[in-house]
Structure 1
Amino acid sequence: MQTRILLLSGCRCIALVPAKRKIIPRQGGYMDTNKFRTIVQGLAESYRSGFGVNDSGLSGIPDRASIAKLCDLMLHVVFPGFFAGQQQLQVQVHWVALRRLIADLEDDLHRQLQRAYRFQERCQGVSEKDEKDFLECIDAVTTSFLQSLPEVRRLLESDVQAAYENDPSAPGAEEIIVSYPCIEAIAVQRLAHRLYQLEVPFLPRMMTEVAHSRTGIDIHPGATIGDHFFIDHGTGVVIGETTTIGSHVVLYHGVTLGAFNPLSRNEEGMLERGQANKRHPDLEDHVTVYPGATILGGRTRIGHHCIIGGNAWVTRSVAPWSTVTMADPDLTIRQNSKQGPGDFAI
């Protein structure tokens, strides 16, 4: 590492600049044969337990790239023409184009559902269903999901309206749809939630993790969310599986709706999972939660028209029409000399 000293406005600034070095070609061939064999044997031995090993090939498991494409196709259905890589949906031929679009979505979803259910059977060690019964199950799930799309679009229209009503920097619905990360995250969660309700394995969580990786907003597909939902900025928001959110709720960046006791167990001492373990809070209608606030616990209920201030730590219920704030921190302000801030180093 090289050190370079820069003079900026009379102050000394020390910058560290990586030294330029050549990559030296490897000399003497590959690793010693015995060491190489030991590594291979060690990995092969670790594979024998079956942990983290998929022996069915990529055709037998939902893969992330395919699920990301499925999310994009779903987003194009609920917001036609707004997501890159998808064809435009012309109004004058909307019936023909829409039929083709829904048919494409039906095919892709059907394929991924088959992979998910077959992989679940292998993971659970149960015998595969009869092919006829299996396909009838997949058909029913696919149809039920597609039938929910008009309702999903209605909810998303209300979400876009909520963003417009709560963000004075938004010039219109078009910019909100095309650029706001919360819209993609909420849209994918609402779509994944439909599959979650149908008890589809793997796909719902994979879908919301696609949105999480793209937007920095982590909403579990199990969360129940009302209409007119808005997340401003969004980065760092976490919403747990058993959370319920009412209508006209606004969250800001860094908000956590999490579990206070995530490891509760039943009478047999087994860890309770899913909706059976109510561990995340409930937010009633017209609640606003400001940046960095943390609300925890399955028994915690935030009443309607509450305001939760920034960085608040809430683990018990709050009555309607309440405002929760942290005490003002003590600030220390030091007056610098008139000559400037002095030397500093980066």
Structure 2
Amino acid sequence: MTPAEQQHFFERMATQNASFRYRLPSKPDVGRFIDSLIRFLFPITQDCKQFVVSTADTYRELNRQLGCLLKPLEEHLPVDKELTTERFFDQLPDTYDALLLDAQAIAAFDPAAAGVEEVIAIYPGFYAIAVYRIAHMLTNLEVPLLPRMMTEYAHGHTGIDIHPNAKIGSSFFVDHGTGVVIGETATIGSNVKIYQGVTLGATNVAKSMASRKRHPTIEDNVIIYANATILGGRTVVGHDSVIGGNVWLTQSVEPYSLVYHTSQIEVRSLAAES
């Protein structure tokens, strides 16, 4: 580019950047806070090069980090960032208890799990749920965009996409998890188990529908097997139902329903045909 073209480009960028409504914290800082907070709650893993820091000091540092993340968004918060940070950490014990129930549910129902420690340290399903529950606290405090940055960070690491506005009950179990999508207005009850590739999505993606319930409701004690797709804000899966693999569901089902997909599979011997 010539100097004149370069200057024109810089001016275009400046005009566009000035039009953005929000300034946001950096994505690396968001990721560091998430991982530090989960490790603070569950200090199961240990670095080869270990630094001994008191729990109280770590807690204060996490408070400082969250305040830093909230600073660019401060003008959009309903209260100042200090009070938002205080309210967030006031809720942390309840979220900790909820995450213990999630980890215990995964350990209890996955035959491959050696125990709660393995689930917390290794399982992508638990990690995505933990980030969701942390982000959901900020959503309840009316913090814009930062909760979504957190869940997208988890999405990038696990392949599990849970919108922070979704409502999810206790003892949630995501097994394997790759390809799971849970939309913004989805409601999930307690003791629900979801396997890889499940989508709780919308039938209408028009922008005009943004303020309406677009995603399904899953009641308590439901199991949804791999690659099932359940769509629509009016779709309710009744409690204690089982949704089989590869099901495409756009209508409600009663409690205690078994919904399954059938396909014809033919096996032939290549040796016999040769």
Per the normalisation by structure 1, the TM-score is 0.72
State the structure with more CA Rg: 1
Find the aligned partners of 1:55 and 1:316 in 2 and give their Cα distance: 42
User: Which runs of 5 or more structure 1 residues have no equivalent in the other structure?
Assistant: 1-35, 90-95, 122-133, 265-270, 341-346
* Inter-CA distance 74–55: structure 2 relative to 1 (3 Å threshold): farther
RMSD over aligned CA atoms reads 2.7
Deviations 1:230-289 (A, max 9, x none): 00000000001111111100000000001112326xxxxxx243xx32101111100000
CA contact (8 A) 1:117 1:200 kept: no
CA contact (8 A) 2:202 2:214 kept: yes
Task: Specify the alignment match of 1:138 in structure 2.
Answer: 81
Task: Specify the alignment match of 1:65 in structure 2.
Answer: 28
Q: Which moved more, 1:39-48 or 1:75-84?
A: 39-48
Q: Secondary structure at the match of 2:269?
A: coil
More helix as a share of residues: 2
Find the aligned partners of 1:48 and 1:75 in 2 and give their Cα distance: 38
Matched, 1:336 2:255: no
Residue identity in the other structure for 1:201: P
1:332 shift after superposition: 3.1
Taking only the aligned residue pairs, the percentage that are identical comes to: 42
* Inter-CA distance 153–167: structure 2 relative to 1 (3 Å threshold): same
1:194 shift after superposition: 0.3
* Inter-CA distance 66–177: structure 2 relative to 1 (3 Å threshold): same
| 1:109 pairs with one of 55, 66, 91 | 66
| 1:204 pairs with one of 128, 143, 147 | 147
Find the aligned partners of 1:190 and 1:143 in 2 and give their Cα distance: 17
Find the aligned partners of 1:85 and 1:196 in 2 and give their Cα distance: 36
* Inter-CA distance 98–105: structure 2 relative to 1 (3 Å threshold): same
Task: Specify the alignment match of 1:162 in structure 2.
Answer: 105
CA contact (8 A) 1:117 1:201 kept: no
Deviations 1:201-235 (A, max 9, x none): 12100000110100110000001111110000000
| 1:179 pairs with one of 115, 118, 122 | 122
Residue identity in the other structure for 2:43: P
Find the aligned partners of 1:170 and 1:316 in 2 and give their Cα distance: 34
Task: Specify the alignment match of 1:5 in structure 2.
Answer: none
User: Which runs of 5 or more structure 2 residues have no equivalent in the other structure?
Assistant: none
Matched, 1:320 2:255: yes
Residue identity in the other structure for 1:47: M
1:334 shift after superposition: 3.1
Find the aligned partners of 2:49 and 2:31 in 1 and give their Cα distance: 13
CA contact (8 A) 1:76 1:86 kept: no
Per the normalisation by structure 2, the TM-score is 0.90
Q: Secondary structure at the match of 2:117?
A: helix
